[in-house]
């Protein structure tokens, strides 16, 4: 019984130490969510207005720009997958990877070759373990992305869109990330960024149904304006997606760590009850041995007196 009691006490100390760690991680994630939400709120107006500007240029001219005109028979597509660098976030990264797999299967079902670009060590490890080809990857900044990181990610993607498919370019650009809805809800989504769908861009830009876009004169030309605006549009959308993914990652980690902390508390209570039962059994056994010894001694004394 004594050995069993020592085992229970050792497990209680171990689980208690783990509970302290998960509680600390939960509090850290909760504090980072607030900062991430502020960054998302600060970046959204810029992305919205830039989308409105791109939409106005595209709808106000007859220019057939390669970044706003769909190919007659698209054959290649690029998919940017945003995951996390660290684990302990529940199903955050795996849900995003599953959404990217579904998108890839759909694109291949349409007869398109798919080039995959990945942000985050979890996605890189997943594809590397399965020996899947990755065009390019970036790691080390998913917790707190900056606009410079978004520009770094956007640069090879824009180059791929601007190249001809025969030279390794792509006809479409898609992004898969986790959208931050609330502290309890984060939803993996896939969006097509290029070629730009004017209807979707108008909705993203906050345009209402039936709204008349203003007329513009373009200098030097509408095509040159699109050349300048569309890369900024891609960068802003990627930046907003990275920020939403970061907020979702922190929320998922906070929820996972809270669940781990609660489970550790329940396990400690269970082990404490078992330890108390073992200690009570040990005490009962000792009392029984004392009583039995006293009874045997009394019987021996009574027998000698006779």
Given a cut of 80, whether residue 300 has pLDDT beyond it is no
Output the pLDDT for position 153. Answer: 95
**Binning pLDDT at 50, 70 and 90, where does residue 305 land?**
low
In the predicted model, what is the mean pLDDT of residues 279-298?
Answer: 79
Tokens (6 digits) for 157: 């993607």
Q: Does domain 23-258 have CATH number 3.40.50.970?
A: no
Tokens (6 digits) for 62: 């007859």
Q: Note whether 14 and 196 are within 8 A (CB).
A: no
**Binning pLDDT at 50, 70 and 90, where does residue 285 land?**
confident
Q: Note whether 188 and 178 are within 8 A (CB).
A: yes
Claim: this prediction has a pTM higher than 0.85: no
Strands 76-82 and 172-180: parallel
Residue range 138-161, pLDDT digits in tens: 999 998 999 999 999 999 998 888
**Domains in the chain: boundaries:** 2-21+259-299, 23-258
**Binning pLDDT at 50, 70 and 90, where does residue 201 land?**
low
Give the best-scoring range by mean pLDDT among 42-51, 52-61, 119-128, 188-197.
119-128
Output the pLDDT for position 49. Answer: 80
Output the pLDDT for position 92. Answer: 93
Strand residue runs (E) in 62-171: 76-82, 113-119, 136-138
Location of structure tokens 């942000």: 119
In the predicted model, what is the mean pLDDT of residues 257-282?
Answer: 90
Output the pLDDT for position 79. Answer: 96
Give the best-scoring range by mean pLDDT among 43-52, 210-219, 244-253, 296-305.
244-253
Residue range 25-65, pLDDT digits in tens: 999 998 888 889 889 888 888 888 887 777 777 766 666 76
Higher pLDDT, 294 or 273: 273
Helices 222-305, 92-109: crossing angle, 10 deg rounding: 140
Whole-number mean pLDDT of the chain? 85
Output the pLDDT for position 166. Answer: 80
């Amino acid at each position: 019984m004594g050995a069993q009691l020592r085992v229970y006490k050792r497990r209680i100390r171990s689980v208690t130490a783990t509970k302290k760690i998960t509680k600390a991680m939960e509090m850290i994630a909760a504090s980072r969510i607030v900062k991430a939400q502020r960054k998302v709120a600060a970046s959204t107006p810029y992305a919205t207005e830039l989308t409105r500007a791109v939409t106005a240029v595209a709808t106000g001219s007859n220019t057939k720009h390669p970044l706003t005109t769909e190919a007659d028979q698209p054959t290649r597509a690029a998919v940017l997958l945003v995951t996390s660098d660290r684990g302990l976030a529940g199903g955050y990264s795996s849900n995003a990877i599953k959404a990217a797999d579904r998108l890839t299967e759909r694109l291949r079902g349409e007869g398109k070759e798919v080039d995959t670009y990945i942000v985050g060590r979890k996605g890189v490890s997943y594809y590397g373990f399965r020996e899947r080809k990755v065009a390019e990857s970036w790691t080390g900044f998913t917790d707190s992305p900056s606009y410079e990181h978004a520009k770094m990610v956007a640069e090879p993607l824009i180059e791929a869109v601007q190249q001809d498919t025969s030279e390794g370019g792509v006809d479409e650009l898609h992004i898969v990330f986790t959208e931050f809805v609330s502290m309890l809800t984060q939803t993996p989504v896939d969006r097509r960024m290029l070629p730009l769908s004017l209807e979707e861009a108008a909705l993203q830009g906050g345009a209402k149904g039936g709204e008349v876009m203003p007329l513009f004169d373009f200098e030097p030309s509408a095509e040159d304006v699109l050349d300048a605006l569309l890369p900024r549009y891609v960068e802003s959308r990627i930046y907003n997606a990275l920020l939403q993914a970061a907020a979702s990652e922190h929320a998922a980690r906070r929820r996972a760590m809270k669940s781990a902390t609660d489970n550790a508390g329940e396990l400690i209570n269970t082990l404490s009850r078992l330890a108390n039962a073992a200690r009570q059994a040990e005490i009962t056994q000792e009392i029984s041995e004392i009583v039995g010894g006293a009874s045997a001694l009394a019987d021996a004394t009574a027998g000698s007196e006779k």
